[in-house]
Amino acid sequence: MSRGHTTAGHEYPEIPAETLLTVEDLRTTFDTPRGKLTAVDGVSFELEAGRTLGVVGESGSGKTVLSRSVMRLLPKRGATSTGRVRFNGHEMVGLTQKQLRGIWGTELAMVFQDPMTSLNPTMRIGNQITESLRYHLGMSSSEATEHAVVLLSSVGIPTPERRLHDYPHQLSGGLRQRVTIAIALACGPRLLFADEPTTALDVTVQAQILDLLAAQQRERSMAMILVTHDLGVVAGRTDDIAVMYGGKIVEQAPTKTLFAEMRMPYTEALLGSIPRADQPSHTPLQAIPGRPPDLVSPPPGCRFAPRCPYAQPRCRHEEPPLREAPTKGHRFACWFPVGTPEGRQALEENRVRGVALDPARSVTT
Amino acid sequence: MALLARRLVQLVGVLLVVTFFSYLLLNLLPGNVAVAVLGPNATAAGIAHVTAELHLNQPLPQRYIEWLWQVLQGNFGESYHTHEAVSTSLAQRLPVTIELLVISQILAFAFAIPLGILAALRPGGWLDNISSITAFGFLALPPYVLGVILVLIFAVSLHWFPATGYTPFLTDPGANIHDMILPSITLAVGSLAVYLRVLRAEMIATLQEDYITMAVAKGMPTWRILTRHALRPSTIALVTVAGLNVGALIGGAFLVEYIFALPGVGVLAIESIFSKDYLVVQGIVVVVAVAYVVVNFCVDLLYLFLDPRARGVQTLG
C-alpha cells in the first residue's frame, strides 16, 4: 500500500507536482436509436505526472468511454464529446485526427482489455512493435528491431529475438498482454491508459501483469490511468481512485483515504461485492441489487438512489453535487454519506421502515 | 510442408474424380459411342476404326486409365471433323481465353480493392453509395447485354475500339491489347461488382476489430492502417469468392468470346457442340475442369499466406 505514496508529490508536499492531465466538465454522448446516450456526464479531474489514478465502476458506468474520450479515441460518427482536456500542454478537444496522431503512441498510449483481439493476427509481433518506432521516431529497420528486443525483454518475455518473428496466435494470453504493453510503451508515453488490462486473463497471470505495469510506470516515471471494475485490483497499485457511476465521478480520493473513510454508498457496495480472504468460506457475496441507470434518460436526483440502502426522498429528486470531504483530495457526491450521522440515520430509517432494496419499488414516506 | 503434401494428395484425388467424370461424358451419349462420334453417315469400317481407336470394346475402368495415360502425354485424340489433334486446337485457343480471363481479373481487382477500401472507410458516404449502386446495376447486367451495349457505344458510335476481331499478341502487342479491352471490361464488370461488395463488407467488419483501434491508438496514419493492418485479414473472403467465381467466369468468357468473335476455347466449344465434335468437347471439359480445380488449390495455398493461423501452431521455445 505504501508503494503508491512514495511519489514526489507526497514526499515534498510544499512543491506542487507538475499537472500532466486536466479534465474539466468532460461530456460524451452517443446517438442511439432511442436518443442521446450520455456515457460521460460532466467529469472533471486532474492527474499529476508520474502518478496513478484508478477509475473504478461496474459495466456501463462510463469508465471506458471516459478513457477513450480523454484520448479522443472515439468513433468519428455518432459520438460528441465536449469539455476541456488539457494534456501535456495540448488542448485535446478540437484537435484534428492528424494532430492527434502526433500525440497518440508517443505521449499518450493505451493497453486494451483483451490481448486475444488487440493484436493483429496477420502481422508478426516484431512488426507490430517496430512500426510505431519507425513511424514516430524515424528509426531504421535494424535500430527499431534492436529496440523491440529491449522492449520485449523489459516486459518479461523470454527469448525476445525469436518472439519477434512469431504471430500473436503462437503466444499465450499473458505473453500477448506483455506484448501489447511493450507496444504501448514503445515510444515512451507520458501517460498510459490501461483499460481493464487483466480482465481477460487467468487469475494467476493478473497479478503479474499488474506488477509489470506498476514497475514500468515507476521506472519510466509515467502517469497511468488504470480502468477496472475491480476495487481489489486498484487497492495497492494506485495513488488515487475515482469511482464512476452512471457516467459521473461519484467519489474520488487518495487510495488509502478511500478505503479508510469512503463516503459514497456505491463505493461501499462495490467493496462489499469483492470476496475477502478473512471471511469464512461460502460467505455469500453482497451483490448490488438492481441495474445501472439508463443513460438515455437517467433518473432524476442521485443516479444510485434506486439501488441505494441509504436513499431518502431527497435523493430521488435532488442530485447531490460532488463536494469536498474534510480530508484533502477527497470528493464525493452524496446527501447521506457513509460513516456520518446523517448516513447512519438514513440507513436506520430505511431499516425501520423495512424498505426492501427493490429498484422497482419506490420509497414511501 | 506436411500440410502442403497433404493438400497435394487431395488435389490428385480430386483431379482423378474430375477427369473420370469428364471421360464418362462421352460414354453417357445415347447408343453406340462410335456412331455418336461419327454421326448418322457412319460407315461400318469407320465404326470399327473408331471402336478400336477409342478402345470401346474394353471395360470402362480400363478405357479410362488408358485414356488418362494418353491425356497425361498431351494426347486428347483428334477431331473427326477437321482431323486436327484436339491438343493442337486447344494450344491455339487457350492463350486467347487465358489472356481474356487474366486481363479481366486484373481489371476487376484493380478497381475493386481501392474502391472497396475507400467505401469501407466511410460506409454510407458518397463514394460508398455511388459504388454500391453502380455495382448492383452492373451485377444485374449479364455479359451478353453489357457486351452489346459497350460495342454500340465504344465501337459503333465512338470508333475507339474494334467491335470484333483479334490480333495475336506476338504479331502486334499494342493491337492485341486494344482488341482485348472491350471484351475484358465486359467480363470484368460482373467480378468487379462481386469483389467490391465482398471486400467492402469484410473491411467494414475488420475496421471494427480491437487491433484496428489499437493501431489508431498507436498513432498510425489512416492509409497505413488500411493497407497494412486491415487489408490482409479482409482479403480471405475475397480470395475464396474469386476462386469460386472461376467457374462462372469461364462460362462468361465463352459468351464474351462469342460476342467479340475472339478465337478462344469458348468459340471452339460452341462450334464443337453444334457439330457434335465430341472428342473436342471432351478435351475442353477436361481442361476447364482441371483448371478450376487447380485454381482453387492455389486459393487454398493463398490462405496459408494470408492467415498465419491457418499454418498450424508451431510454438517456439
Number of neighbouring beta carbons within 10 Å of residue B142 = 12
Cα–Cα distance between A321 and A248 in angstroms, integer?
Answer: 11
Beta-carbon-side half-sphere exposure of residue B140 (alpha carbons within 13 Å): 6
Averaged pLDDT, A259-277: 87
Average pLDDT, chain A: 87
B315 in contact with A at a CB cutoff of 8 Å?
A: yes
Cα–Cα distance between A252 and A329 in angstroms, integer?
Answer: 8
With beta carbons less than 8 A apart as the criterion, state whether A262 and A317 touch: no
Contacts of B220 in chain A (CB under 8 A): 101, 105, 131-132, 135
What percentage of chain B exceeds 70 in pLDDT? 98
Say which of B215, B220, B313 has its CB closest to residue A169: B313
Distances (CA, A) of A93 to A26, A128, A248, B151: 10, 28, 19, 56
Averaged pLDDT, A19-33: 94
Q: Where do the domains of chain B lie?
A: 2-72, 89-311
Which residues, in sequence order, are CB contacts of B229 under 8 Å at separation 6+? A120, A123, B211, B212, B215, B220
B308 in contact with A at a CB cutoff of 8 Å?
A: yes
Cα–Cα distance between B130 and B236 in angstroms, integer?
Answer: 25
Tell me what pLDDT residue A5 has.
45
B220 in contact with A at a CB cutoff of 8 Å?
A: yes
Q: Which residue has the cell 436506520?
A: A348
Interchain CB distance below 8 Å, B229 and A73:
no
Tell me what pLDDT residue A240 has.
94
Which residues, in sequence order, are CB contacts of A204 under 8 Å at separation 6+? none
Q: For residue range B251-304, what is the model confidence (pLDDT) as tens digits?
A: 999 999 998 989 999 999 998 888 888 888 889 989 998 999 999 888 888 888
Q: What is the DSSP string of A25-70?
A: EEEEEEEETTEEEEEEEEEEEEEETT-EEEEE--TTSSHHHHHHHH
Cα–Cα distance between A140 and B56 in angstroms, integer?
Answer: 71
Contacts of B306 in chain A (CB under 8 A): 122
Residue A3, pLDDT above cutoff 70: no
With beta carbons less than 8 A apart as the criterion, state whether B313 and A166 touch: no
**Looking at the DSSP assignment, which residues form a beta bridge with residue A91?**
A86
Name which of A149-153, A342-346, B46-50, B240-244 the model is least confident about. Answer: B46-50
**Which of 102-121 (A) contact B at CB < 8 A?**
102-106, 109-110, 112-114, 117-121
Residue B305, pLDDT above cutoff 60: yes
Tell me what pLDDT residue A355 has.
63
Averaged pLDDT, B304-310: 84
CB pairs under 8 A between A and B: 88
Contacts of A106 in chain B (CB under 8 A): 219
Cα–Cα distance between B43 and A135 in angstroms, integer?
Answer: 80
B312 in contact with A at a CB cutoff of 8 Å?
A: no
Interchain CB distance below 8 Å, A132 and B213:
no
Interchain CB distance below 8 Å, A114 and B210:
yes
Cell of B261: 468473335
The residue in chain B having the minimum alpha-carbon distance to the alpha carbon of residue A162 is B316
Which residues, in sequence order, are CB contacts of B59 under 8 Å at separation 6+? none
With beta carbons less than 8 A apart as the criterion, state whether A300 and A70 touch: no
With beta carbons less than 8 A apart as the criterion, state whether A176 and A119 touch: yes
Interchain CB distance below 8 Å, A120 and B233:
yes
Contacts of A163 in chain B (CB under 8 A): 316-317
Number of neighbouring beta carbons within 10 Å of residue A316 = 17
Q: What is the DSSP string of B35-66?
A: HHHH-TT--HHHHHHHHHHTTTTS-HHHHHHH
Q: For residue range A319-365, what is the model confidence (pLDDT) as tens digits?
A: 999 999 888 899 999 999 998 999 999 988 888 887 655 443 443 33
Say which of A121, A132, A183 has its CB closest to residue B233: A121
Residue B74, pLDDT above cutoff 90: no
Interchain CB distance below 8 Å, B229 and A104:
no
- B27 Cα to chain A: minimum distance (Å): 49
Contacts of B233 in chain A (CB under 8 A): 120-122
Q: How many residues does chain B have?
A: 317
Q: Using DSSP, state whether A249 is helix, strand or coil.
A: strand
Number of neighbouring beta carbons within 10 Å of residue A84 = 14
Averaged pLDDT, A292-306: 90
Cα–Cα distance between A229 and A54 in angstroms, integer?
Answer: 10
Averaged pLDDT, A197-212: 86
Nearest to A66 by CA among A52, A56, A51: A56
A215 in contact with B at a CB cutoff of 8 Å?
A: no
**Looking at the DSSP assignment, which residues form a beta bridge with residue A241?**
A54, A253
Residue B226, pLDDT above cutoff 80: yes
Q: Using DSSP, state whether B108 is helix, strand or coil.
A: helix
Cα–Cα distance between B55 and B73 in angstroms, integer?
Answer: 17
With beta carbons less than 8 A apart as the criterion, state whether A4 and A237 touch: yes
Which residues, in sequence order, are CB contacts of B199 under 8 Å at separation 6+? B112, B113, B116, B117, B120, B234, B235, B237, B238
**Which of 149-188 (A) contact B at CB < 8 A?**
158-159, 162-163, 166-167, 169-170, 180, 183
Beta-carbon-side half-sphere exposure of residue A277 (alpha carbons within 13 Å): 1
B69-76: long-range contacts, CB 8 A cutoff, minimum separation 24: B71/B19, B71/B286, B76/B279, B76/B282, B76/B283, B76/B286
Residue A10, pLDDT above cutoff 70: no
Interchain CB distance below 8 Å, A131 and B307:
no
Interchain CB distance below 8 Å, B214 and A118:
yes
Q: What's the alpha-carbon Rg for chain A, to the nearest Å?
A: 22
A123 in contact with B at a CB cutoff of 8 Å?
A: yes
Which residues, in sequence order, are CB contacts of A202 under 8 Å at separation 6+? A173, A174
Tell me what pLDDT residue A43 has.
94
Helix H or strand E segment including B75: none
Name which of A235-249, B34-48, B213-227, B241-255 the model is least confident about. Answer: B34-48
Which residues, in sequence order, are CB contacts of B25 under 8 Å at separation 6+? B281, B282, B285
Interchain CB distance below 8 Å, A73 and B213:
yes
SS (H, E, C) A91-144: ECCCCCHHHHHCCECCCEEEECCCCCCCCCCCCCHHHHHHHHHHHHHCCCHHHH
Tell me what pLDDT residue B1 has.
67
Provide CATH code, domain B89-311: 1.10.3720.10
Q: Using DSSP, state whether A248 is helix, strand or coil.
A: strand
What percentage of chain A exceeds 70 in pLDDT? 92
With beta carbons less than 8 A apart as the criterion, state whether A133 and A144 touch: yes
Cα–Cα distance between A100 and A88 in angstroms, integer?
Answer: 13
Q: Which backbone phi and psi does B258 adopt, to 5 degrees?
A: -65, -45
Q: For residue range B123-148, what is the model confidence (pLDDT) as tens digits?
A: 888 989 998 898 888 888 888 888 88
Residue A80, pLDDT above cutoff 60: yes
Q: Which backbone phi and psi does A118 adopt, to 5 degrees?
A: -90, -5
Nearest to A239 by CA among A215, A256, A261: A256
Say which of A105, A114, A158 has its CB closest to residue B219: A105
